[in-house]
Each structure stands twice: as structure tokens, then as C-alpha cells.
Structure 1
């Protein structure tokens, strides 16, 4: 300031008192003009000013969604700056919006009356997890009697069936304090601006920001039925099938074999390569064949006219063949084989089937049940035993591969569409993945040897199922499994995972089930890991409470201990019978006992080293 009190300029030099990562992040965001620093006079004027951090519009323009999974440097800087500037929004309570009182003591964390000692809780406790999400006996139950279901439902089965109906009818998953919460709090924290009623939304796990909230609460039209083995999950599923059929007003499309349209052809990618590929298995020209050849206009494959039912005069030898009348003949180099080049258009059987596959899936009211191969016929017998005769039409799908290797005709897709329940196995899903390759990639893999027979597309991906149920669903927990990939390609409205052992060893076993259920956003590996799995394994009380609340709504788990009074099991009788060994049996038993004891001691000594 000059002597005549005329302001010239003021230069301030100061240092920030904050964490190193926070200060460097603030400098980085200011350098790329995502935020700016502004001096604000305090009560003492400019002698003791305040520094105000203002977010710029450019920062919000750089982020399209709070659920973006891309990792960028500016987002990392935002994660470092926010705990320094607004530490209250980065606490576990703010992230998970929980109301329980958490007390921290030396060496342990207390949530309610339960003490979580880190030294004793290093391993995941599945029993404690099941106990935290167990349903209440006060929950509503299915009141209607199902005449087509022969067994009388026990109370816990009626509660499970009612819960399944609620899930299929779209009851929202509530994760915040309010039941009408529209977005998941851990991924969208509200941050209010100073001196303004407006606010922004911040994802503390990725650094994404937005001026508008995003409604991405999971509406899972299905769930995980995880009752303990022996409690009758099959009967509970049948009760759900009988109680919630596809509405009659929704017309079910039928497969009528309609001709291929131009709109469908444009979406199909086929490698145009002139070759011999007939449905009879021929892959080379042969002088033994004296008939006419016809070429597909989509893939340029030559086929025997006799095999495909094509007539040189433009008339089909078999009903259903699409042919034109104008043809011209070509000869091979040796003038031994006649070829047909049509001025119109001819589509081979393979391309025709692929075009049908690329079309929109056909809607049906059928329930697809996928189970391990050894219990396929057990499922069929259980359905027959527990339902009134003729109440359900059941069909077994053995796969496209078995149809291509068998002389029997492939199962008609109309049989699958008109069935109430379609049974298949995980092995079939795995095999059908190769038959579904053409629809997704556009053509076949190059093999070492020429393929003698065309690949038959699977009908499973051509149908929009009303309900898909994965029995022993832990088999899809491996993310790289072919059965998992095929299961994720299936179209359906309701998705169910049925398993008595959803957790094999750790919490991460549930991620594969959430992927199949499409439980957005937790079917994305990053959000599952950072929001649920890692905080849960760190014994974060708020994260554990949030996880329990989430799975209590998407998973139903009753144990025999909890429903023992509703099982109506007759009292157990114990009968002890003593057997006397003969001399030979006693000698053999002693030798086996000594061998086992010796082996056990060796193992124990190895572990001590």
C-alpha cells in the first residue's frame, strides 16, 4: 500500500498446513483448471483472509458418470483433496449412511453388543454372515393355496415363496436410511456447497463427481435362494413358478420360420470366402457328384443342390427352400462339375439359422433350470413327484452339440417355447458356447483341419426366458468358466441362484452370483472389491452393516436350527449295535489303524517344521 492510501497491488505468500497428498492434489487440480483458489476477506479484512476453493464446470464436464471405472490422475487427486477439505464426507458413517453407534476401543471395534477382535476375526466367518442375514419368522408368508403343488408348504417355505414373489415383482433394494432412497450412498455422497443451497455428488472410491444424482439403485428381479440343504428349495421354487406365471396379456411369440428380411441380414457378419461346404459334409469338389452346385450369396459357400433341395429350374425339391427361377451354369476347370450362380439370392441353411439367431429373442413363459448333469433326472423326477399330473410341461434340452452328432433331428425351438420348465445342465451350457460363437464374433474360429459339418446355433440364446434358475449356483462363481459366460448371454426377466452353499471359503464367492443376477453396480468387479469385499475383510463395522443389509434383501437363507420347530420331524431314536471282529477282521483293522496313525504323525511333523 502506498502512503496516499491508493491500492496498488498485494502479493500474499503462505504455506498450506495439510497432508502432502492433499496439498499436491490441490495444486494439480488447480493447474488443470478443475478448481480455483480465491481469497475471501475475513472479519479482520485482508490482514487475515480465508482461502476459498471453488469447483469449476470443467471438472464436472470431464466426468460422464459417477460409475465410471476409468482411472485418471485427476480423480486420484480428487480422492486426496476431499478428505482434507471436507473430512466429514469421507468417514465410514458418511459413505455407508448407517445409524448404529460404533465405539472404538484399544485393539477392538464394537458394533452394538458384538466385539470384533481383529486378531480373532482374521478369517471370514460364514456362519456369522448367515446369522446376520437370516430372515425373521415374523416376515409375511404366502397365504394362497397352490392346488397344483402336492406337498403342503411349511411356514418357512411359505415365507421363502412370498419373498421370491416380492423380488420378481420388483420391490426396490433399499440401502440408505430412507426406504425411498434412490441411489446407493457409498458411490454417491452428497456434498453441499458453501453459501449456496446447491450441492454436488462425489464417489469417494473413484473420485468421480457430478452435479446431478444418479439413480442406480439395484432392482434385481430375482435373487439367491440359499436355504440349507434338505429344507426343500425345489418345492419353494415350484411354488414361485405356480404363483407367478407370465401374464396372459403378454403374447408369446412363436417361431414360424418366416423368411429372412433385409433388416436382419445387415446385422450379420459372415466371412465371404469361396469354398465347398455342404451340409452332407463335403469340403472339396468330387468327380463322383454329377449334380448341380449352388452358391450362398452371404458366405459364398458352394453346396450340392441335391442336398439342400434346390432345383436348377428354380423350384425347390423340398418345402421351405428359398429359391429363384433365374440361374446360370458354370463349369469347373475340368468341366466335370456343374455350378449354379443365381441372379437372385440364395441363403444356405447355416446363414439362415444365423440370421434367425441375430434377430430379437422370442419371448416365452418358460422357466429354464440349469443344474449339474448328475442330478438332471433327479430334478425331472422331483418335479413329477411334487406336481399334479399335467399341470406343468417339462422338457429336457440336451444341447446343440448332441443334435449335430446324432442322426435324430434337433429339438424344435417351439418345444422349448411351449414348455413350462426346460431342464438342462452346465455341461450343455459350456458346449453350446462354441455354437453361439458365430452370433457374437461373426464367423468361426480357424481350425487346423477343415470342418466337415456346419455348426448349429444354440436355441438357448434365441429365447427370452421368463425365468432362469441356476441350481448349485456356486458352479458359476468362477468368472472365467465357460458356463458362466454362456449363462450371462442368456436373455431373461427373472434370475435366480439356487444353492445351499453360496459361500465356499470367503465372501468373494458371492461375486459370481451377483454377476449373473446383474446386481448393478456390485456386479462390476471394482465396486464389489472396493465397496464391499475389502472393507468387509478389514472388519469395517459400517461396511459390514451395509453388506448385511444388502444381502438380507437379495439372499434368503434359512437354516435347520432356525426353523427346527417348523420342520415337524419325528423324534430321533438312537440305536447302538456292537459288532465282534473275527480274528482276520481284527488283524486287518489293527493294521489299518497303525497305518493311519503313522501317516497322521508324519503330516503333523511336517506342519511343525
Structure 2
């Protein structure tokens, strides 16, 4: 296999290749395969007898009349080996029925083994040849059931979840050649022995149960054959829930329970009939069938392969879809097929139906409506069991492996091109499936693995493997070339990746530091759940290399695939937010320093700090603005210090307008909230007018229709039942249901009347207090609120002494009462915070003190009332009354009044929402006035009263709660702290401002050509470089600065901000790169990798319109993004789901998008000639499976594998720094993983920078 490395410049896909040959693989695995091959070659030469060879040749001659294709030499060798394994027995030893000594005992190999030919060598044909060469013997008595070497091991603690709503279903049947429904008479009836003589290994209890059942049936039943009777519920035991009168029943000969004929699939009433549950108690029926289990994606492919390679009418085939419908396939029917094909998904589901309902299960009060179906799979002793892509059962604890252990068969085969995914230990699942004792015990298996020589000798007889390089001259498949496309991020993607890289590196470091000696810990030694968390940052970083939207949790606001322009816009927005935060931190530090200098009477330094803020505001006004409250603080205090202590300080023109500017900012700040109050008030007035129009001067009771109804009825049980049912179904959590109080109609009438009256009063009070808020000056409201709830918010506690509640709180309390009446409010248990005050604690006993102290640090005792805007239970009762009136058509006036009444109640609820919003806006306005007052405060020394001279402890406590007070001894510390914060803040401000300039420069790259280079003053026409600060330099000047830079950094000649050499970006305006692909115009703006994949597809299609490409990715989201790019560029594609594979093979479809986990195994897609691996694949076995989809027998064209790797990212690190074998074995330690997060920030100086096309 040739490997071609291709450097593709960003967004240009220019191919510049150099060819080299690579070889990789796990050395120990290769040694095993080599040992197996030498072992088989030696036995073929040395131990083969002429008699055995003639017998095998005779068996292969049968293929001439049934198999269309002619087996190649290596395929004939494989089939002969399979036949030897099936024909061998302990009574007839042969060279391939081996004995292996372990712990002093001989290990007997079963009939079967592991067929592990490399992908694309025709394992399917080899299996079909084995089936045709060695069919089930006509004389069934020649092979008693006990001859099977399989001892079924019941897996321990297998979780069986029965779903009683899952029923049996008739499976779709595909019969080779005939294409018609098979009649029951075609089934060859098997001779059935008595259940007492054919003992199933279920244990003594089950045997006794079966014997008693048989004895009971013998003495109580006079019926000797199945009887069809009209449908009757008595004795019915079926897994459906229907009982139509015209359905016929059939009675079981063993238990005499009845089932619907249509449900159990009984072909005829003339045959002996056994129900599905009794089948599980019988000895499994002998079968001539070969059961083939394959991944769901390739199950139908087996049908196609049989049609292609097997002559017509040679085999009868059933495609089994599982016990999940309303019909059941009898085990005898299954046994009559030559081949039964199913999927691992079906096999996993069948595990739920392998157990039968026993009489000892919990008794139910009523008979079951329908019974759980049982799987017929375990009732058949299959002639041959083949697991295709058998690596699916590697894990011995999976549901698939558990179900495989339940199946009975004479011969067992594990068919896989990659039997070993990571280490030789992966074979344990297959060894357990084959049932080779004592190595089904994992402890014995591990002991065997420790002895490499013994392990190889044990595996050699049961494993067969041919590889392409050894039989390449026989298969006639053209060579496969691997092309590695090395890409570079665009500047915006590079910036995004750097941000994600920093986040992920910090998170990864944080997680591994919790482990002891992480440099010694290997990933194979970490449990799966913890390893998943540790590797999550690496996963996010790998996803960031493909597209920002692929990262889980990123950019969920974009319903569509995000373009790079949208990414750029989002990055600019985030950079503005970062710059605003950095500016706020600098201004806060300067304001703090000004306050401290004022305390020290250094007024000139105070004025300098405030003027520095004004200068910063001017410098950045074209980008972001300083926070309004911070600006008010600066202007107000600067005006005050100039007015009182400005003598000797140089005067500026702006000094005369400082107060006016501050006043204008205050008015503008309040104006926004006042406008919101006015809008909310107008909306409330509109809804109130609507309520008044509907009420027409009436109260909320509207009329007496509900009173007349409830008062006029006499013990109407139907109405009362509907009311109580509604109240119980809609019970409000935390409250007692009204159904306990509405036990009769008079009680209901009383409760509704009281509720309507209370609601009327609450509505009037709420509106009255809101009107008072509007009439009271906002300054008075603010002053009262400061002494009430606003002060509490700042202290985060209640005052111990009770004071008069402000108007705003009173209005809010009335609204809460009103809300509790018209909505369903969830009230939680209230624990008063005052209970935790010292005085309250003294009042309680010691036991309560202990409980309270335990609760102090718990968060669940907070007071909370939650509403969900659902109508109150009382309104729900009124709705039921209105519905009752309409249903019974009691009175037309009642119907009209009830309709208007409901409209009125709904309008009232809408009005309340507006009233609540209006109150909230007023509260915001009051808070805004308080915020302005607070913003003007500056740092100061405590007053004498606050110092607590001669005062109580409470006064000193109050002084500690004032946040803007500093004691003299605290001043030096805070001065040093603020100066340090100012320096770091200024550096951060420059950095964030540079990033914003940088991103905006990239966003406006087309307009940069008119700007001159700041060094040589030449215009930036087509090519320029961009530093991290956002300044641009021409290509003639940047090499000099690169060579002059020290410590791997470049200093900007404009702002002196240093940029790591690796982060200098180079842009070529309006260029797609290489001439070879300039004609392939790309539609849309996607990520670098997605564009490279799309561009490569366009290039391939231009040279070959009928080209077919398979695109593999680890993540579905990547395929979603690629599909959007393909749509935009009119490239036809299909997904693997539904009929996508068939349409890709047979139709004019260019690309097939397949998730690596679903489609990399077993598929035969020789119609395609190109395979795209969107990201590096860590598991070499998965990569081999993926590329093997096209490079296999039947392929007549050269094939190509394209790898897409982003330069200078974690992908490149993983491709170069980490050995694939180490990944496979799990020998990568956490220190090596952390090295993947280290970015190269320095580059060697170069006279000419590398160009990245834009």
C-alpha cells in the first residue's frame, strides 16, 4: 500500500505530494498471525492423510452444482480447514482436532473456530461454500443431540427486561429462487421423542415440572391432536390483547392452553401443536439450518451475496426480524430452512424473550390481558451458528454475547476480519462464544495470556487468517493508495481553536492532577467512567479541528450549519464582551485608587486617576463604552474634587461641563427605565379596559348561573365525580386537594362563592396600591425602599427590629395574594430566617438549637413560592360546571353566562401578568435611582460613630457592613492591591483590544489593501501578515521582525504588544490558491476541513462524473455539517439509513456518508473507489475496516484513501507523537496525553513566510 503525503493550503486544496511507504501494526498481534499461518502450512504438508484429502475434495465437488463462483486457492484452503473442524470428533482424532494441556488436563476444541481472513478476501463466499459442502445429514438419527460439543452456559445475572406491550410478529421471508410463500406441507415433519427421554439441561425443578405437566395432560385430556375451536376467553393464553369473535383458537398438546392460530403461526391443525411457552420446556428441535447473525447494516447484504453466488433453488432462506409483532414462528418451521439470517440488534432484543413465565411467579389479582412472547431461537438446535463481524461480541458482558450463549448449535463459527481490536485479550469474547473450557473462565484466560508461547499454541488450531499481501496475486485487486491532505486553519478558525485549546488544556490538567503520579498512569488502567471524563477535553479539541458546531454545547443557537462569517461575527461579539469586562476592571481600579488618594489628601493624584478614566473612555469610544454607573462616579467625584481641592491643578476645557455630563448620564439612565414603566402601564390599562368591557360592571362572579346550578341540583353524582377527579388529577404540590373539601354540591357552592369574593377584593387592592405607586414621587419611593428591602438585599439578611414596610413592598404583597387566588401556586415549607438569630436561638430548647445549627449550612430551607401560570383549582371547577351545562343543555341563559364568565376569568389572568410586569418595572426604576446614589459614593474613612467609640456591639457590626469604608491601617494594603490589579488590568485591556482589532481586521480583509504598512509605508495590496494585536505588516517587513524577535515572540512596531511567532497569520486576499483547482468554485462558507472535503469531491467529480466516494467520520454531527456543504455545492449524497446504500450503489450518487461505528464493518461497497477519513482514527482496526469496504474481492479499479489532517493541531500531534500501537494497547499514559495539549508557539525565522490562502 502506498502512502502519499499531500500538503493542501488552507481553502485551496492544492496537491503537492511526496510518496513514501509506511508499515504499522501491533507486533504481538502480527506474531500471532504469523505463527498461525506457519502452523497451518506445516500441518498441511506433514500431517494430511490421503484419505482425508479425498474426502474433502469430494465434499468440495458439491460446490460445482450449487456455487456460481470458483473458489480461489486460499479460499479452498480456508473451506477445507472449516470442514476439518466440523468433521473432527474425539472418537476420530485428526490433525485439526487438537488437544491442548492446561493445568494437567486436555482441552478439547469444539466443532468450529474463528475465520479471520482479512477484509475483502471473501469470507462470505467461504462460509457459503462450507454450508453447501457440509449440509445437515438426511438421517437425523445419525446425529443425536448429545453429539453437540456445546454445553450451554447460562450467563450469570443476565438482566432480562420483559415488555408486556411487545408482541410476536411474522417475519419477512426470502426464499432463494422461488419468491413465493411456502406452504406448510413443504415442511418435513421431524420425529418427536417423548419429553421424558429427551432431557433439556434446565435443572431438576424444570424436569419435574415438565414431567408433571405431561402426566397431567395424559390423564386429563382426551384430545390427541390440535383442535380448532371458536374463540373463547376461557383458557386463552396468547401474547395479543384482542378477542374477535371470528378468530380461531388452537390448543397446546402439553398445557392445553389456547392461542390464536394467526398469532402463533401454526401452519395446520393436522400437525402436533406445542405452544411457544411449552417449546421452552422441550428438548431443542434438531435443525438443518445455519443461523447467521450479522450487523444490522449488512444483514440484507447476505441476501444479495447468496443471490449473487449461489445457484437458484439451492437454498431456502429466511430473514428473521425478531419476536416483536403479533405472530410467532414455530421452532419446527425455523428448523426447516437452510439459512436463517438475523442481526445483532434482533439478537440483543431476543434476550428479553428467552425466559418463560413460570407458575412460581407472583400471583396477580386478575388474569393477564396478554402474555409475554418467548423467542423460538433457544428452542432450536442449529446445525451451524455463524457470527459475522464477530468482534461485536468481544465484550462478554454485552446483551449480544449473553444471547449468543443461550443458543444451541452443533457447529459454531466466529467470522471477522479484525478479530483483535486492541490486544490479544480481545479474543476472550470469541473463546467464550465457542465454549472452549476452561478458558471461558476469565481468570484462566488471563493466565494463558501471560504465557505467550502457550497462548499461540492454543489459538493456532482454532484460528484461520489469510492476509492480502500473502494472496495478493490470487485476488487480482488493484493496489490502494493513501493520500494525506495536510490543511491549515484560516485565521478566524485558528483564533477559535486557540481559545478552545486553552480551555481544554486547563480542564485536562485540572482533572489529571487529582490522580497520584499521573505520568505513570496508563489509560488502560483507568475505569471507563473516569476515563471518559478525563478524555472529554481531548474529544472537544479533536472536534474543534473539524467545525466549531461539532463541539457539544457550542453554538446551539444556530439551527443551521454555521458559516465562517457567522463564526467570525460571534468571535467579534465575544471579543467585545471581553474588552468591556477588561475596561470595567481598569476603571474600577482607577476609581479605587482615586478614592484612596483622596483619603491621603493627595488631590492631584486623585484628579489624575479620574482624568485617566476620561482619556481611556475617549480612546475606546469607537469600540466599547465605559459602564454608565462607573462614568457617573468618575464625573461626579472629579467635579467635586476640582471644586473643593482643585487649586493649583491645571484647568481643562471639560472641567466646566463635568456636572452637566453626569446629570445627562443620570437622566439617560433613568429615562430607559421610565419608558419601560410607561409602556407597562399602557399595556395594563388596555387589559383592564378589556376586563371591564367583559364584566360590564359586574363582579368576578358575573352572574348567578353557577349558583343556580349547584343549588338546584340534588346529589348529582356524575357532576361531583367529574369535579373530584379533576381536582385529584390536578393537585397542586404542597397543598391539600380541594376534593377533600368539595364532598358535596353545597360545599362546592360555598367554596366557589368565597373564592370569587376574595378574588374581587384582592384585584381591587392590587390595582389601588399600584395607583398609589404611580402617584407617589419616585424619590420618596426610593428613599423608603432603601430603608426597607433594598438595604436588606445589600446585607442579605433581615433587620431584627420591625419597621414600616414601604409602599413598593405593600403593593408586591398584595399582588402575591392576588396571584395565589387566580393561579395554582406551589408553596414550600417556610423556615423563618429570624430563627437563626441569636435571640431566637436562646428562646428554643437545646434539641431545637442542635437542629437549627445543623440547618445553618443547608440551602433547602429558603422560602419560595412557585407559580406555573396554571388556572387555580376553583377556576377549573367553574370550567367543569360550564362544560356540564353545555353537555346537558340545561338552560340557554346559563350557557351564555358561563361562556362569558370563562372569558372574564381568562382576561383577569392576562391582566394580572401585565400588572405584575408593571410593578416590576416600577421596582426597577426605584432600584435604578438607588444605584445612581450608590454609584456616587467613594472610599472614605469611618466616622466617629462608625468607629464604635462608647457604642454597642450592634453599632460596630453595622460599621463592618459598610463596603466603602476603609480604616487607616487598611489603606497601604488596598493601595498595593489596586495598583497590582491596575497593571494586570491594563495589560489585559491591551490584549483584548488587540484581539478585537485583529478579528475586525480579518473580518474586513478586503478593505485592508488601502492601508499602508506601518514600517515601510507601502500599501498592503494582495499579501500581508496580521499580528495578534490586529496591526498588519507587509511581506517585506515581517521576515525582518521574525528574525529580530526574541523568546519566540514578535514585538509590534505600533503598540509594542508581543505576539508568539506561531500565531502570526498570513493572508492572501481574494485567492483560492493553486491553479489546478481555481476552476472549482466552492459555494458557501464552511470550515477549512469541510471545505477541503467538498473541494476534493468537486475535483474528483470534474475528472470522473461517475466517481463514488465513501466519507467516514467518528461523529454524526460532522456528517451533518458535511451534508450541508454537499447540498450547497449540488453534490449528490446519501446517508447509510434506509435505502441509502442501495441508492448509492445503483444510482447516480457521488458520496455516501457513514458513521464509523455503524458502517465500517462488513459492508461490501466495491462500487466506490475513494474513501475519505475526515479525522484521524485512533483504533487501527477500525481504520482497516473502513478502508476495506472498497479494497476487496470484486474491485477492478484502483482505490484511494484520503486522510484530512489540520497542521499544528492536536490531530498532527496525535499522528506524529503517539504510536498507533500504544493507542491500541492502551499504553498511552496521562503525561503523553498532556503533551498533546502543548502547542508550538515558536517557529524558525524564515526569509519568506508561508502563505495561507484566504
- Structure 1 pair 509–157 and aligned structure 2 pair: CA distance change class (3 A): same
- CA 596–581 in structure 1, closer or farther in 2 if over 3 Å, else same: farther
Aligned equivalents of 2:89, 2:192: Cα separation in 1: 38
The TM-score normalised by the length of structure 1 is 0.55
Is structure 2 residue 319 aligned with structure 1 residue 396? Answer: yes
Distance in 2 between the 1:179 and 1:595 partners? 50
Write the deviation string for residues 119-156 of structure 1: whole angstroms up to 9, x where unpaired. Answer: xxx97732232222225557378533312111100000
Note closer, same or farther for the CA distance 1:602–1:239 as it changes in structure 2 (3 Å cut).
closer
Which of 110, 117, 122 lines up with 1:232 in the alignment? 122
Find the counterpart in structure 1 of residue 436 from structure 2: 519
- Alpha-carbon contact 2:99-2:109 (below 8 Å) kept: no
Map of 1:488 onto structure 2: 405
Question: Which of 88, 91, 102 matches 1:186?
Answer: 102
From 112, 128, 131, give the equivalent of 2:34.
Answer: 131
Q: Shift of the alpha carbon at 1:431?
A: 1.1
Q: Deviations over 1:27-50 (max 9, x none)?
A: xxxxxxxxxxxxxxxxxxxxxxxx
Paired residues of 1:293 and 1:305 also in contact (CA < 8 A): no
| Counterpart for residue 580 of structure 1 | 1078
Query: Is 1:170–2:80 an aligned residue pair?
Result: no
In structure 2, distance between residues paired with 1:396 and 1:506: 34
Partner of 1:217: 107
1:536-565 Cα distance to aligned partner (Å, 9 max, x none): xxxxxxx22222122110000000011122
Deviates more, 1:410-419 or 1:388-397: 410-419
| Residue aligning to 1:464 | 381
Match of 2:299 in 1: 376
CA–CA distance in structure 1, aligned partners of residues 244 and 195 of structure 2: 17
- Unmatched segments (≥5 aa) in structure 1: 1-121, 189-213, 271-290, 311-316, 324-344, 536-542
Q: What CA distance in whole angstroms lies between the structure 2 residues aligned with 1:488 and 1:243?
A: 26
Question: How far did residue 384 of structure 1 move?
Answer: 1.2
Deviation string 1:321-369 (CA, Å, 9 cap, x unpaired) is 369xxxxxxxxxxxxxxxxxxxxx8535499431222110100111000
Distance in 1 (alpha carbons) for counterparts of 2:107 and 2:26: 30
> 1:363-389 deviations in whole A, cap 9, x for unaligned?
011100001111111001101110000
Residue of structure 2 equivalent to 1:507: 424
**1:359 is aligned to 2:282:** yes
Displacement, 1:265?
Answer: 8.2
Match of 1:600 among 1210, 1221, 1245: 1210
Is 1:246 the counterpart of 2:116? The answer is no
The answer (yes or no) to whether the contact 1:371–1:470 under 8 Å persists in 2 is yes
Residues 1:418 and 2:336 are matched in the alignment: yes
Distance change (3 Å), C-alpha of 1:362 and 1:583 = closer
Distance 1:255 1:461, change over 3 A: farther
Structure 1 stretch 225-234 or stretch 260-269: which is displaced more? 260-269
Deviation of 1:232 (Å): 0.4
Q: Distance in 2 between matches of 1:595 and 1:320?
A: 65
Name the CA distance, whole Å, in 1 between partners of 2:66 and 2:388. Answer: 22
Instruction: State whether residues 390 and 419 of structure 2, in contact with CA within 8 Å, keep that contact through their aligned partners in structure 1.
Output: yes
Q: 1:381 to 1:454 in 2, by over 3 A?
A: same
Aligned to 2:209: 267
- Distance in 2 (alpha carbons) for counterparts of 1:370 and 1:443: 34
Measured after TM superposition, the shift of residue 457 of structure 1 is 1.2
Assess if the C-alpha contact under 8 Å between 1:222 and 1:517 holds in 2: yes
CA gap 1:452/1:426 in 2 versus in 1, 3 angstroms: farther
In structure 2, what is the equivalent of residue 321 of structure 1?
A: 251
Cα deviation for residue 424 of structure 1 reads 0.6
* Residue in 1 that maps onto 2:346: 428
Cα displacement (A) at 1:582: 5.3
**Distance of 1:457 and 1:492 partners within structure 2:** 19
CA distance in structure 2 between the aligned counterparts of 1:180 and 1:472, rounded to whole angstroms = 24
Q: CA deviation at 1:486?
A: 1.0
Q: Which residue of 2 aligns with 1:333?
A: none
More strand by share: 1
Shift of 1:502: 0.4
1:432 Cα offset (Å): 1.1
Cα drift, residue 437 of structure 1: 2.0
Work out whether residues 240 and 371 of structure 2, in 8 Å CA contact, stay in contact via their aligned partners in 1.
no
Residue 559, structure 1, aligned to residue 559, structure 2: no
CA deviation after TM superposition for structure 1 residue 529, in Å: 1.2
> Retained in 2: the 8 A contact 1:170–1:219?
no
- Do the aligned partners of residues 172 and 386 (structure 1) sit closer, same or farther apart at CA in structure 2, a change above 3 Å counting? same
* Equivalent position SS for 2:32: helix
Shift in alpha-carbon separation, 1:601–1:179, aligned structure 2, 3 A: closer
Per the TM alignment, residue 505 of structure 1 is displaced from its structure 2 partner at its CA by 0.5
CA contact (8 A) 1:367 1:466 kept: yes
**Counterpart Cα distance in 2 of 1:309 and 1:261:** 38
Shift in CA distance, 372/303, structure 1 to aligned 2, threshold 3 Å: closer
Kept in 1, the 8 Å contact 2:280–2:356? The answer is no
Residue in 1 that maps onto 2:452: 544
Structure 1 CA distance, aligned partners of 2:293 and 2:117? 18
The Cα shift of 1:302 comes to 12
CA-CA distance at 1:169 after TM superposition: 0.9
Indicate yes or no: 2:393 matched with 1:476. Answer: yes
| 1:453 aligned onto 2:453 | no
For structure 2, which runs of at least 5 residues remain unmatched after alignment? 1-24, 144-187, 200-205, 213-230, 265-273, 484-1074, 1093-1203, 1215-1233, 1239-1254
Post-superposition offset of 1:523: 1.8
Alpha-carbon shift at residue 246 of structure 1 (Å): 1.4
Alpha-carbon displacement from aligned partner over 1:76-103 (angstroms, at most 9, x marks no partner): xxxxxxxxxxxxxxxxxxxxxxxxxxxx
Tell me by how many angstroms 1:516 deviates: 0.7
- Contact (CA 8 Å) 1:225, 1:556: kept in 2 or not? yes
Distance 1:385 1:550 in 2: 37
Partner of 2:554: none
Relative to 1, partners in 2 of residues 1:423 and 1:442: Cα closer, same or farther, differing over 3 Å?
farther
Whole-angstrom CA distance in 2 between matches of 1:303 and 1:239: 40
Aligned residue for 2:1224? Answer: none
Quick check: 2:299–2:342 contact (8 Å CA) kept in 1?
Answer: yes
Q: 1:239 to 1:295 in 2, by over 3 A?
A: closer
Task: State how 1:54-93 maps to structure 2 within 5 Å.
Answer: none
**Take 1:491 and 1:309, find their aligned partners in 2: how far apart are those partners?**
39
Aligned pair count? 394
| Aligned CA distance change for structure 1 residues 184 and 353 (closer, same or farther; 3 Å) | same
Q: Distance in 1 between matches of 2:1079 and 2:367?
A: 65
Using structure 2 for the length normalisation, give the TM-score: 0.28
| 1:476-513: CA deviation from partner (whole Å, max 9, x where unpaired) | 11111111111111111000000000000011110100
Q: Secondary structure of the residue that 1:464 maps to in structure 2? A: strand
CA shift in 2, pair 1:463/1:583, >3 Å? closer
CA separation of 1:307 and 1:222: change in aligned 2, threshold 3 A? same
Paired residues of 1:293 and 1:302 also in contact (CA < 8 A): no
Relative to structure 1, the CA distance from residue 234 to residue 183 in structure 2 (aligned partners, 3 Å threshold; closer, same or farther) is closer
Residue range with higher mean Cα deviation, 257-266 or 422-431: 257-266
Distance 1:127 1:586, change over 3 A: farther
Aligned counterparts of 1:306 and 1:371: Cα–Cα separation in 2:
34
Larger Rg: 2
